[in-house]
Structure 1
Amino acid sequence: MNTDFSVVDTANNAWMHQPNPVQNNDLFSQKAIYATSLIKIQKFLDRAIVYAWYTVKSERRPPTLTPIRWVWRLAGAYHSSRYTSPLMEKASHRFAALGHWNLAQWAAQKAREETDHDLLALLDIQSMGYDAEAVVQALAPSTIEDYVNYFTKIVEMTNPIDCIGLCYASERLGTFVGEEYIRKVEALLPPGTKATRWLRVHSNIGSEVKHVQDIVEIVAQLTPQECNLVARACYETALLRFMPPKEEYISDDELQDILKPLKISTCLQAKSAFS
C-alpha cells in the first residue's frame, strides 16, 4: 500500500485518505489508533476470562440438557436477571456522586436495557407448562445466588467500577451463544414450544455483541489502574460463571418431584406461546 494514501472501505463506497504531512493531529490517524486501542482492551479483558477458565478447569460437567433441566436453567436466568436493572441503577447513582458522569450514563442505560428481562424467563417457564412464579420460588441455583451476591457487593462499594467488569464478562460469554445452540435447545423441547425468548436476547443474535462493544469503549476512557480493576472483576465474574456448584447437581428425578405439582393447564400454556 502507498505510504501516502490508504483505501478505506465504507458502507457505500471506498474513499481515499491523504494525510497532511504538516498536521500532527491527523483525524484519520487518531481513529486508527483508537480502533487499535479498543482491540487491545478487548483482548486484555478476554484474557482475564480465559485465565478464569483455566483456573477452574473442573472435570465436573453439567448434566445433559433435558426439557425439565431447561426449566431449571430458566429459573437461574430469572434470578440473575431480576437484579440487574436495580443494581445498575444504584451503580449509576454512585458513579454520579463521584462525578463519573460517563459511567453514570452508561450504568443508567444498562439498567434500562435490562429492564423486564426476568419477565422473558418467566414467559419461557410458563411456555414449558409450569406456574412460572411458583417455579422461581422453588428453584434458585446456588451458583446464581453466588453471582447475585457478588454483583450486589461490588455495587454497594463507594466506587462500583467493578460492575463494568462483571457486565463485560457476562455479556462476552453471551456472545458465544448462537443460532446453532438455540436450535439445539429448541429441538429438545416439546414441538411448538416457544421457550427461548430469554436465551435469544442474551446471545450473539441479540444485543450482547453491541453491549460488549459499548463496554470496551467505556473502558477505553479509564485510567490504567481502573482498567486493572475492571479486568480483575472480569476474572472474578468468570470464575463464578465457570465454577460448578459446591453441592451435587440436582438430578432430573429431583426436578421432576419439585416441578410436577407446579404444572399448569394447557390453556394457560398455549396463551403464553403467543406472548
Structure 2
Amino acid sequence: MRNDLLINTESACFVPDETAIKTANYTQRHRPTSAKGGDRSVSKMSDAERIAQTQKLLDRAIAYAWHTVKSDRRPPKLTPIRWVWRLAGAYHSSRHTSRLMEEAAQRFAASGRQSLADWAAQKAREEAGHDQLALLDIQSMGYEAEAVVQALIPSAATAVVDYFTQSVQAINPIGCVGHSYASERLGTFQGEEYIQSVEALLPQGTHATRWLRIHSGVGAEVNHVEETVEIVAEMASEECMRVARACYETALLRFTPPKEGYISDEELQNVLKPLKLNTYLVAEN
C-alpha cells in the first residue's frame, strides 16, 4: 500500500470518478471462468487492478478534503500537557466504536448483507478496549484518567463520533465503511519516527503511546485499510461512491480547525493541575 496520499493535494479532485468505478465494477462482473492456469492469472490481475482502483478513489476523497479545508491555522506545537489533551480526544473517539460497529453489523445482517455484517463485527472485536489504552496513557502521564476525560472533551472528537453515529443509524449504514477507512488510512501516516518524536517530548519513564501505536502505521491500521478496500471493491458503483463521500466527509471533520480555536497550554494547565495523581503531587512537594 503506497503512502503518498497527501503529497500532491493540489491536483486532488473528488468528483464521481466514473472511470475508476466502472473499471473496478466491470472487472468484478467479467472475470474469466476458464480453469486454465493463464486465465487464473488474468483473474488475479483483474482483482488486483480492481482493488487498486478502489483505493485510488477513496484516497482521492480524503486528499480532496485536505485540499478543501485550505487552512493556514495549524495546531499548537505539541507539548506534554497537550499530549494529554490529544489522549482525551483519542479516548472519546474510541469509546463508542465497538458498540456502533456491533449495531452496524446487526443492521447489515438484517438487510441480508452478510459480508458487511462480518466486516463490522470484526471491527467491533478489534476495537474493543482501545479507549482503555488511552486512559492508561493519561494515567502514565500522571493524571487521574477518568477525571481528565470528564473534564476534557475536544469538540473535534465529538463531531467525528456524531458523524459516525449518524452513518451507522442511517437507512443504509454504508457510510460507516467510509468513516472507518478514512480514520484508519490517516492513521497509517503516523509511523515509528512520529511515535518516537512524541515519546521524546514526554518525561522519562512515561509510557503514554499505547493508543498511538495501535492506531498508527506500525500497528494494525495497514491491514485494516487493506481489508476495507477489499470489501468496498466488491460493491456496486453507487455504493462505492457513497463510501467515498463518507471518506471525504470524515476527513473534512478531521482536517478542519475547531471554530472555537485551539485550547492553550495555560488553559489546559488550569484544568489538569487539580487532576494530578497523588504520587506526582508528593514527588513535586
Could you list the per-position Cα deviations for residues 165-210 of structure 1 after superposition, in whole angstroms to 9, with x for gaps in the alignment?
Answer: 0000000000000000000000000011100000000001100000
Give the RMSD, CA atoms, in angstroms: 1.8
CA deviations 1:212-269 (Å, max 9, x no partner) are 0000000011000000000000000000000000101110000000000000033899
Q: Which amino acid aligns with 1:40?
A: Q
Task: Confirm or deny that 1:266 pairs with 2:282.
Answer: no
Is 1:92 matched up with 2:88? Answer: no
Q: Which residue of structure 2 aligns with residue 186 of structure 1?
A: 199
Which residue number corresponds to residue 214 of structure 2?
201
Deviating beyond 6 angstroms after TM superposition, the runs of 4 or more aligned structure 1 residues are none
The separation in 2 between residues aligned to 1:139 and 1:181, in whole angstroms, is: 24
Of residues 109, 119, 127 in structure 2, which corresponds to 1:106?
119
Matches within 5 A, 1:238-253: 238-253=251-266
Question: Per-residue CA shift, 1:2-39, capped at 9, x if unaligned?
Answer: xxxxxxxxxxxxxxxxxxx9959811110011011111
The counterpart of 1:142, out of the listed 155, 180, 187, is 155
Question: Number of aligned pairs?
Answer: 250
SS of 1:26's equivalent?
A: helix
How high is the sequence identity, in percent, across the aligned residues?
A: 67
Give me the whole-angstrom Cα distance separating, in 1, the residues matched to 2:69 and 2:245. 15
Paired residue for 1:257, among 270, 274, 277? 270
Per-residue CA deviation, residues 130-168 of structure 1 (Å, 9 max, x unaligned), is 000000000000011111111111111121000000000
Equivalent position of 2:14 in the other structure: none
Q: 1:120 aligns with which of 117, 133, 138?
A: 133
**For the Cα contact (< 8 Å) 1:174–1:208, is it kept in 2?**
yes
**Alignment-derived partner of residue 75 in structure 1:** 88
Unmatched segments (≥5 aa) in structure 1: 1-20, 270-275
**CA distance in 1 between partners of 2:215 and 2:271 (Å):** 27
Q: Give me the whole-angstrom Cα distance separating, in 1, the residues matched to 2:263 and 2:100.
A: 29
Amino acid at match of 1:114: E
Instruction: Tell me the residue number matched to 1:226.
Output: 239
Matched residue, 1:215: 228
Q: Which residue of 2 aligns with 1:164?
A: 177
Unpaired runs of 5+ residues, structure 2, are 1-33
Matches of 2:64 and 2:271, distance apart in 1? 37
| Distance change (3 Å), C-alpha of 1:268 and 1:202 | farther
2: CA distance, partners of 1:185 / 1:103: 36
Aligned to 2:79: 66
Q: Distance in 2 between matches of 1:205 and 1:226?
A: 30
One-letter amino acid of the counterpart of residue 68, structure 1: I
Contact 1:76 1:140 in 2 (8 A): yes
CA distance in 2, matches of 1:197, 1:70: 13
Equivalent position amino acid for 2:262 in 1 = Y
